[in-house]
Amino acid sequence: MRGAVTRGGGARPIQRGTRRRLHRATLTALVLSAVLLASVVTSLAVGQVDLPLPQVLKAAVGVPSDGADFIVGQLRAPRAYTAALVGALLGVAGALLQSVARNPLASPDLLGVTAGGSAAAVASIALTRSVDSFSIAPWAVAGSLATAALITVLGWRGGIQPMRMVLAGIGVGFVATSITTYMLTKLPERVVGSAYLWTVGSTNARVWRHVVVAAIAAAVVVPIAAWYQRRLRVMEMGDDMAAALGVNVVRVRVGAVAVSGVAAGLATAVTGPIGFVALVAPAIARTLSGRGGIVVGASALMGACVTSVADLIAREALAPTQLPIGLLTAAIGAPYLLVLLARMRN
């Protein structure tokens, strides 16, 4: 920074420190982007048929190359891109909710928001008997949004009480899951299979339609979340402090929870509920970036990385058997949760 302030005597170290910290957040974003890119390219190249890299890269950008087109273009690419985009949506959804609740446990999957989305999706199948994913998707979003609103209201006592919210969320999640299970028992055989898929997170058999929906969702959600970021960071210092700094606390809170619900709902609409990504990604992104507050971009990148890597392992670890992606994310998420709970007890 030119024009160094000379007051205080410590101007030089101060400026150096600023640059070092700015670099840390930027560095984190760059590293995560690199990891994500590597993971996606690996997902495209590796599989039952291992393809040479140049062919893969050509097919990935649409240049016709013999052999790779179908495998990469029709099978692997949609799946890999969907996984990454859904991971980004979940990362952002988790980041927003955790910031609003000022608590790392407040995540859409832990708090039943994604379960609410699944329940609504199955309800729509029960009501309309249609399994067309495009017509079910809005129900999933509406269900997640309604659940997010419900747990916020239940968790409210003069302000969001994180523990109340978490307990309400766990309760609502159980109720949503029970309702879903009940509806599944009542559905006719021909739709039960598809309906069941809506309760299980899966990146298997994704097609380009999924990628388009997820991409549009991410393109809308991430910038809006970034728009809230500065004010959310201020709200993490307490409602009074935030109001004193000119933040409209109620509006930001409602807006952030709504965006979180929509993001989680859209993710659920594309792949079904994938757990733990929304819980783990924002916290790790926060720690790596060192900015002392919500980091939307890094949360999205971290979420995408987690889901992408989990998807790759789910597909290839026991090939040709496909592991459910939820298993992999749980394998990452459960130990993290235990560490978190252990640390909270101190």
Partner 1 sequence: MTTDAEPRVGATNPAAASTDTAHPAGTDVRLAASHVSLAYANARVVHDLSLEVPPGAFTAIVGPNGCGKSTLLRALARLHKPQVGTVTLDGADIHTLHTRDVAREVGLLPQSPHAPAGITVRDLIARGRTPHLGPFSAWSQADADAVAEAIAATGLAGLAERSVDSLSGGQRQRAWIALALAQQTGMLLLDEPTTFLDIAHQYEVLDLVHRLAQTGRTVVAVLHDLAQAARYADHVVLMSAGLVVAAGPPAEVLTAGRVGAAFGLRVTIVPDPVTGTPLIVPTSAPGGADLTPNDPLERTR
Q: What is the nearest approach in angstroms of partner 1 to the Cβ of residue 328?
A: 28
Q: How many other β-carbons are positioned within 10 Å of the β-carbon of residue 38?
A: 13
Distance CA 80, CA 82 (A): 5
* Choice between 26 and 248, CB closer to partner 1: 248
Distance CA 177, CA 162 (A): 22
- Interface residues toward partner 1, by CB under 8 A: 1, 3, 5, 7-11, 13-14, 17-18, 21, 102, 226-231, 233-234, 236-238, 240-241, 243-248, 286-287, 290-293
Q: What is the nearest approach in angstroms of partner 1 to the Cβ of residue 223?
A: 9
* Choice between 19 and 129, CB closer to partner 1: 19
Instruction: Of 35, 84, 28, 96, give the one whose Cα is nearest residue 282.
Output: 96
* Choice between 119 and 295, CB closer to partner 1: 295
* φ, ψ for residue 323, nearest 5 deg: -85, 145
Q: What is the nearest approach in angstroms of partner 1 to the Cβ of residue 252?
A: 10
* Choice between 13 and 64, CB closer to partner 1: 13
| Token pair listed for 84 | 């990454």
* Choice between 293 and 324, CB closer to partner 1: 293
Q: What is the nearest approach in angstroms of partner 1 to the Cβ of residue 253?
A: 14
Question: DSSP states of 2-60 as a string?
Answer: -S---TTS-HHHHHHHHHHHHHHHHHHHHHHHHHHHHHHHHHHH-SSS---HHHHHHHH
Q: What is the nearest approach in angstroms of partner 1 to the Cβ of residue 238?
A: 5
Distance CA 58, CA 168 (A): 49
* Choice between 209 and 230, CB closer to partner 1: 230
Identify whether the C-beta of residue 14 lies closer than 8 Å to the C-beta of residue 3.
no
* Choice between 7 and 190, CB closer to partner 1: 7
Distance CA 307, CA 289 (A): 20
Q: What is the nearest approach in angstroms of partner 1 to the Cβ of residue 282?
A: 13
Q: What is the nearest approach in angstroms of partner 1 to the Cβ of residue 180?
A: 36
Vertex 40: Cα angle to 85 and 77 (nearest 5): 75
Vertex 106: Cα angle to 100 and 108 (nearest 5): 100
Distance CA 261, CA 305 (A): 21
